[in-house]
Amino acid sequence: MSDPLQKLRDYGYELPSPNPPVASYVPVVRTGNLLYISGQISTNEYGVIEGRLGDTMNVVQGSTAAEHAVLSVLAQIVHTAGVPLDQIRRFVKLTVLVAAAPDFTEHHLVANGASNLLAEVLGEKGKHARAAFGTTGLPMGAAVEIEAVVEIDA
């Protein structure tokens, strides 16, 4: 596999610093070859990407927020768990929470931002099972929050 960090740069992104926990939890738990990544909210260099889909954000903006949230997942893997991206065996599952208006129905399209980025950067190893659903609000007003289960090399 080619260098995932270079692929990330080719896609226009750098791996960010990991977000610190904002409540009573740890960002990553490792058991055997599995990493459980706590929910990572959509952030960028300016702070939290806030909004509600179908209200203050459209699907394209939401998809970009999902890309940023999954970048935070990758940052937790590399910086907190100490696992290089090339030691990921596969992303097993993403759970994507989307802050949305009650009548918004395109959560799956927002989640595609994260799924597509992982497939671009990690190829087959980035393809995963997924759940995407809406909620009336997320911590700190974030537009998207993503948790993940990742299998790594022993």
pLDDT tens string 43-59: 999 999 999 999 999 99
Q: CATH code at 126? A: 3.30.1330.40
**What is each CA distance from 5 to 68, 107, 125, in whole angstroms?**
15, 28, 14
Q: Comparing 6-20, 52-66, 140-154, which segment has the lowest mean pLDDT?
A: 6-20
Question: Which domain range does residue 137 map to?
Answer: 4-152
Nearest residue to 40 via CA among 54, 24, 22, 53 = 22
Count of domains forming the chain: 1
Q: First-to-last CA distance in the chain?
A: 18
Query: pLDDT tens across 7-32, in order?
Result: 999 989 999 999 999 999 999 999 99
Q: Cβ neighbours of residue 63 under 8 Å, at least 6 residues apart?
A: 109, 110, 112, 113
Three-class secondary structure of residue 70 per DSSP: helix
pTM equals 0.96
